[in-house]
Structure 1
Amino acid sequence: MMQLETNLEYSLLMGLTGVSVSKHLLDEHFTLLWANDFYYDLIKYSKEEYETLFHNRPDLYYKEHQDLWNVLAGKVYETIENKAEGYELVTQMPVKGGLRWIKLTSTFTDQLQDGIPMSYTVMTDVEDIMQARLEQTIAYENLPGFIAKHKIRKDGSFTLIEANDKYKHFADVDEGSFSSFTPFSRLDEKSRKILDGHVPLMQKGESVHFVIRSGSCCGNDIWLQLNGECIGWEGEEPVYLIVYIDITDITEQRELQKKLEERSVQLKEALITAEKANQAKSDFLARMSHDIRTPMNAIVGMTAIAGAHIDDKERVLDCLNKITGASKLLLSLINEVLDMSKIESGRLNLSDDELNIGELLQDLIVMMQPEIKSKRHKLDIHVMGIQHENVIGDTQRIKQVLMNILSNAVKYTPDGGRILISIDEHPSQDGIGNYEFVFEDNGRGMEPEFLEKIFLPFERADDRLIKGIQGTGLGMSISHKIIQLMGGEIKVESEYGKGTRFTVKMPLRLQERVAAETMKIQGLSVLVVDDDQVACQGTCHCLEEIGINSEWVCSGQEAIAIAVAKKRQKMDDEHFIVIMDLKMPDMNGIETTRLLRKEIGPDIPIIILSAYDIEEYEAEAREAGANGFISKPLFKSKLLQVLKKFTEEEDLKSKASPKKLSAADYTGKRILLVEDNELNREIAVEIIGSTGVSIDTAVNGLEAVNIVSRSAEGYYQMILMDIQMPVMDGYESTRRIRTLSRSDVADMPIVAMTANAFSEDVANAVEAGMNYHLAKPIDIATLMMVLDKYL
């Protein structure tokens, strides 16, 4: 009876509170043990409905609102984990017909039922309060301008307390950094003074209205009208609500309009430029033949010469060397055309090759010989102060730059013109040689307006006199980019109708010093005969550096006069060798040689020096008494080789003996060559077979897979794999070979040997499981390096 009375009193007390009160088990369901009438009034379900529908399980009650249940359950578990006495939570709760905002205040007890603790929860309806707050927030966020609540410190500084989203975006601040944010930090000096003048008024709590100019997070300045009202105090420091209205005046708007109009004009000009560029690209294929035909002519011509002198080994080897140089240049030009997107986007990579500047320039001149000859140009070459011939750089790119400039000089100079190439080396620093190449011509020159865009792609001078001259319009743009990547400089000077001068400065890393060759020459001297005084001085300088005395004259008459004088006076200091320029006015080198022979006899060697192909003059020169030939540009190493030939009486025929394709010996090794093109297979077998390696062949990727799968393990030491083949390409073939059930295929070297030569092709080869990528046409030196690496 006493317990019943106690429960009745408890229920009466809970009913008199006027709020929802409920009692729950802290189990996985938060089972409802008891609730007063206000609980059921709040959720709008009767007690019978709640028990029938949800079995006193809040988790079932929240079944259609899992997100709200997760919030509530998370709060309960957090309270239990923290061993707290209870929690408060404002959240939405499902009620019959919708959702309602409530405030839950829960207290955990030590009471147990079946060993499970219990809690009491008071739920207060806060729907009206939350709606009012939401409406206030919406109004706050939608007021015109930026709104912020600031506290004004005693020292006159401002602290940001609260702000709407517009202000936060304007000031680039978030709520987490309010305390560290400094308001009004983007004011100019004048606006700062205006603000400082109003601070004393605000410290008194007075209303303020003023205009300032402030920077925004976007970097632009705007004019703001500030309206501030004191809404409270924190101690002696006032709290202000300030509304910022953007009133950027009409003058600045007009200025913006003006800028927009200027921008519109710029965009139109850019569109016109783009259209011109597109037209230039459309014309590109029609104008590119010249650059490609130059090395092609050299290849065709040298092939014909070699065929006509098939029994002259020295001549054939010389032709083959020139064909090789032309082929490499032709390959670089083809890559230039095919790799246009890379060039335009600036994705050019430079390689580090060991190269000789003298040999590089000689290759360049050999390439241009047919055209120089056909246009009857006079070519002079000055070599000055070259201390280091052997350097490290991108051979093909350097040759490409110099070829572009020389080719332009030749084709844009009217017939019978003069072209001068000067090469100089400035003092080196930290192992870097500073080289300067100057190309001068007395050709058509360029008009000033074209000079400003000469390094833009696809640009050609709008000159009716050169309309018939073919060109890609890419050469100078690419040259400019290459020199920039090298850390060098290229500049052009030109006067229309008088000629052009290109100056290229490029830093090149020096190769390690090699001890200079010495020659056993004591007290001997060389006579240099050349109508170009600078060339004479350059040659004599080279001779002095290798320890040989020299003197020079600028005409054949002077050379003969010196020889006659020495003969009459019976001087003992006769010249050891005469170096004679081929092309000289009045009396050329051949005629001078013929007359010299009458004076000095047959014992003193006479070497013919020329910047031109000696081919057509060779027979006449030998008949006149010439002993040998040397080509310009004349570098110290080349001069040393020629002189050494005569001082040590080397066998000239040994120089013309055929070269082996490779000195390597891989006898006992076996490779599989996968190539669908019969001619390419023949070339590869010939070159690779020179190393003694055994070669099996397959004509497609599937055949390669079958051959490897049928072979004994360890039978092949390497696979050379083409990519584009019928039946199965090289990528798929490589993948299948790598997955064969054999122990040798995982580490077997597979090398791509393909015409797919772009950077993405290299990446695809690696991704397919290949070890290396060789681009066609195959560079023999690189091929031998790869064979050496894997065999």
Structure 2
Amino acid sequence: MVFHLFVGKAFAGSISMVLIILSLSLFILAIYLEKKFAKMNRNIYYREELFNSLCSNIDDIFLIYHIGNHKIEYISPNTDRTLGISSNNIKKNPFIIFNYSENDLKTEINRIFTKDILLENYETECKLLNPKTHQLVWLILRIYPVLDRQTVIRYIICISDLTKEKQSQQILKDALLNAQKANEAKKEFLSHMSHEIRTPINTVLGMAQIASNYLDNKEKVSDCLNKISVASKNLLTLVNNILDMSKKDSSSLQLTKEPFHICEFLFTFSSIIKTQAELNQQVFELTIDQIQNDFLLGDTLRLNQILLNCVSNALKFTPTGGNIKLEVSEIEKHGNKALFRFTISDNGIGMSKEFIEKIFIPFEQEEFIAKKYGGSGLGMPITKNLVTLMGGNIYVTSKLNFGTTITIDIVFEIAKPDTEIDEDAKNISKKLKYDFSEYRILIVEDNDINLEIICEILKPSKITIDTASDGLEALEKFKNCNASYYNIILMDLQMPKMNGYETAKAIRELNHPDSKKICIVAMSADSFAKEADIAIESNINYHITKPVETEDLFSLLYKIIIDPAYPII
């Protein structure tokens, strides 16, 4: 009895112990699971935050759409930045995105989301108008179906911004198109210039051949030489026009500002045009009206080019017996500036309305004009460029078969009364004879024909001529000459062995009494102002452009050699 009681108590105690241990184990397990779940929740929260952060900082937008309840379960928070629509508004109405699409995408998306369930991936591109920025954005929409037991229960939607990529593609397309246009323009230019350049060259070669056949006929030779001279000047004008166009593109076309009397300028210009008009049996008339300020500052060379381009066209396209007028008036004055109006009118063949709209486009010509009259189609574009560069405006009105009127408005600065004009420079060109017999010049030129031309031009002046075929020879001759042996050096810039810049620099560095004071004049076929600037920077005193005009060269020599007051660098 006592034994049974002991066993019973022992068994009961064992059960109690087991229960206690089990309870403790469950408690510990509960604590462990709670910590485990808490850690898992923290990890889930961390991952959600990380995913949201990633989605917020990329351009792609992600959505999870539940097909059963037609609701957005997840949307990345960057929709406002990319689409201009808040994520809350998209959650309320998923189809609001497609309200702003250019194409009718809303109907197709609505069908995919509600009727025809996708069983495979879907992709499409669309353009959407951002309601905030009012700018079009390119998007690519991708939809991926999520299956559960062969049933599509959700869509994962990815919207990517393709705007920058599309813009880059468009830039490349535009660049390709511009390159193709430039190539076509180049071909057209070469074709056009080939004809325009060959025409005067053909005249030069043909007249030279004819002259060689009539050497005993002085009158015939003189006629051929005159025609060669005209053709050469036409060719030079064409080349200058092409250079002016390239200068406009490279921003290297520069204007000078020198004092001049506009009435005197106009009378000189008119006398030249009147002679040409009389040869064509046309009437040219100059009218100057209400000019209060005659003494101005400006670039007379470019003004002459502007007026010559316009008046030459009037002469060219006006038939025999026609009238050409140049009317000049001072419109208004503001401070030290005055607005002048130049009106060139004729009763010639005129222009069509369609062509007037293209008159300032390079190489554009009326078809019948190009065939009958020729020309490069560069005159008016260059005129427009020059007028614009001078701060002015140009207007053209015309009627086919009735004539054309060109109106040019240019503002000039009014020169002060005490502004000096180099009267010697004006009057030298009128002198008929130059006597430089007491002086010596060193001509440095590598081209034998150019050297012969310069020597022949200078021969009437009786100046003593010494020559060198390159910079090294010129340097050697100058180094070994006595003091004051040469009065001036006339030197080509582009030469082999040692070019003009290098030669000038080497001369200045010589230990010679005249090395610093000898006047060096550069000759160059390059009419760009940049080359003239480089020449001056290279301690070259003056720069003249080939082909060298006789009067310009003699005028410069006179000012350098004869006039001691003329400043030398």
Equivalents in 2 of 1:726, 1:341: separation in Å?
Answer: 27
Q: Which runs of 5+ in 2 are unaligned?
A: 1-45, 60-73, 90-96, 103-125, 129-135, 139-162, 209-217, 220-225, 420-428
2:457 is matched by which residue type in structure 1? I
What secondary structure, in the 3-state scheme, does the structure 2 residue paired with 1:348 have?
coil
Q: How far apart are 1:291 and its partner, in Å? A: 11
- Could you tell me which of 732, 755, 770 is aligned with 2:525? 755
Equivalents in 2 of 1:141, 1:765: separation in Å?
Answer: 67
- Could you tell me which of 372, 380, 385 is aligned with 1:468? 372
Q: Which residue of 1 aligns with 2:492?
A: 722
Alpha-carbon displacement from aligned partner over 1:286-305 (angstroms, at most 9, x marks no partner): 45469989xx9xxx9xxxxx
- 1:488 matched to 2:398: no
- 1:146 matched to 2:56: yes
Alpha-carbon displacement from aligned partner over 1:64-86 (angstroms, at most 9, x marks no partner): xxxxxxxxxxxxxxxxxxxxxxx
Q: How far apart are 1:782 and its partner, in Å? A: 4.6
- 1:790 matched to 2:560: no
Q: 1:514 to 1:732 in 2, by over 3 A?
A: closer
Q: How far apart are 1:721 and its partner, in Å? A: 2.0
Equivalents in 1 of 2:456, 2:369: separation in Å?
Answer: 48
* Residues 326, 367 of structure 1: 8 Å contact kept: no
The answer to which structure, 1 or 2, has the higher relative contact order (CA under 8 A, 6+ apart) is: 2
* Residues 458, 473 of structure 1: 8 Å contact kept: yes
Q: Which residue of 2 aligns with 1:733?
A: 503
Q: Which residue of 2 aligns with 1:456?
A: 361
Q: Which residue of 2 aligns with 1:433?
A: 338
* Residues 277, 315 of structure 2: 8 Å contact kept: yes
Q: How far apart are 1:486 and its partner, in Å? A: 0.8
* Residues 330, 341 of structure 2: 8 Å contact kept: yes
2:535 is matched by which residue type in structure 1? A
1:467 is matched by which residue type in structure 2? K
Q: How far apart are 1:371 and its partner, in Å? A: 5.3
- 1:414 matched to 2:414: no
What aligned pairs does 1:124-523 form with structure 2 within 5 A after superposition? Answer: 144-147=54-57, 213-214=80-81, 222-223=84-85, 225=87, 251=101, 253-255=126-128, 256=136, 274=182, 277-286=185-194, 288=196, 334-369=239-274, 372-373=277-278, 375-462=280-367, 464=368, 467-513=371-417
* Residues 253, 529 of structure 2: 8 Å contact kept: no
Equivalents in 1 of 2:385, 2:78: separation in Å?
Answer: 52
Q: How far apart are 1:142 and its partner, in Å? A: 11
Q: How many pairs were matched up?
A: 407
- Which range moves more in the overlay, 720-729 or 426-435? 720-729
Equivalents in 2 of 1:411, 1:281: separation in Å?
Answer: 22
Alpha-carbon displacement from aligned partner over 1:30-88 (angstroms, at most 9, x marks no partner): xxxxxxxxxxxxxxxxxxxxxxxxxxxxxxxxxxxxxxxxxxxxxxxxxxxxxxxxxxx
Q: How far apart are 1:470 and its partner, in Å? A: 1.3
Q: Which runs of 5+ in 1 are unaligned?
A: 1-135, 148-165, 168-206, 228-246, 301-306, 309-319, 516-655
What secondary structure, in the 3-state scheme, does the structure 2 residue paired with 1:386 have?
coil
- 1:681 matched to 2:531: no
Q: 1:710 to 1:682 in 2, by over 3 A?
A: same
Equivalents in 1 of 2:480, 2:350: separation in Å?
Answer: 68
1:701 is matched by which residue type in structure 2? G
Q: Which residue of 2 aligns with 1:631?
A: none
What secondary structure, in the 3-state scheme, does the structure 2 residue paired with 1:254 have?
strand
Q: How far apart are 1:426 and its partner, in Å? A: 2.2
Q: How far apart are 1:757 and its partner, in Å? A: 2.9
Equivalents in 2 of 1:714, 1:141: separation in Å?
Answer: 89
Equivalents in 2 of 1:482, 1:291: separation in Å?
Answer: 27
Equivalents in 2 of 1:341, 1:429: separation in Å?
Answer: 34
Alpha-carbon displacement from aligned partner over 1:518-568 (angstroms, at most 9, x marks no partner): xxxxxxxxxxxxxxxxxxxxxxxxxxxxxxxxxxxxxxxxxxxxxxxxxxx
What secondary structure, in the 3-state scheme, does the structure 2 residue paired with 1:678 have?
helix
Q: How far apart are 1:280 and its partner, in Å? A: 3.7
Q: Which residue of 1 aligns with 2:481?
A: 711
Equivalents in 1 of 2:76, 2:247: separation in Å?
Answer: 60
Equivalents in 2 of 1:361, 1:337: separation in Å?
Answer: 26
2:127 is matched by which residue type in structure 1? R
Q: How far apart are 1:683 and its partner, in Å? A: 2.5
* Residues 211, 223 of structure 1: 8 Å contact kept: no
Equivalents in 2 of 1:657, 1:210: separation in Å?
Answer: 85
1:251 is matched by which residue type in structure 2? S
What secondary structure, in the 3-state scheme, does the structure 1 residue paired with 2:388 have?
helix
Equivalents in 2 of 1:250, 1:414: separation in Å?
Answer: 63
Q: What value does the CA root-mean-square deviation take over the aligned residues? A: 5.1
Report % sequence identity.
31
Equivalents in 2 of 1:485, 1:141: separation in Å?
Answer: 60
Q: How far apart are 1:706 and its partner, in Å? A: 1.3
Q: 1:413 to 1:336 in 2, by over 3 A?
A: same
Q: How far apart are 1:707 and its partner, in Å? A: 1.2
* Residues 487, 519 of structure 2: 8 Å contact kept: yes
What secondary structure, in the 3-state scheme, does the structure 1 residue paired with 2:527 have?
coil
Q: 1:145 to 1:504 in 2, by over 3 A?
A: same
Equivalents in 1 of 2:380, 2:500: separation in Å?
Answer: 37
Equivalents in 2 of 1:326, 1:510: separation in Å?
Answer: 38
Q: 1:507 to 1:697 in 2, by over 3 A?
A: same
Equivalents in 2 of 1:329, 1:428: separation in Å?
Answer: 38
Which structure carries more helix by proportion?
A: 2
What secondary structure, in the 3-state scheme, does the structure 1 residue paired with 2:385 have?
helix
Q: How far apart are 1:406 and its partner, in Å? A: 1.1
1:395 is matched by which residue type in structure 2? T
Output the TM-score relative to the length of structure 2.
Answer: 0.57
Q: How far apart are 1:375 and its partner, in Å? A: 4.4
Q: How far apart are 1:748 and its partner, in Å? A: 4.6
Q: How far apart are 1:331 and its partner, in Å? A: 5.7
* Residues 445, 498 of structure 1: 8 Å contact kept: yes
Which protein is bigger by CA-based radius of gyration?
A: 1
Q: How far apart are 1:418 and its partner, in Å? A: 2.4
Equivalents in 1 of 2:200, 2:267: separation in Å?
Answer: 19
* Residues 441, 487 of structure 2: 8 Å contact kept: yes
Alpha-carbon displacement from aligned partner over 1:597-625 (angstroms, at most 9, x marks no partner): xxxxxxxxxxxxxxxxxxxxxxxxxxxxx
Q: How far apart are 1:474 and its partner, in Å? A: 0.7
Q: How far apart are 1:786 and its partner, in Å? A: 5.0
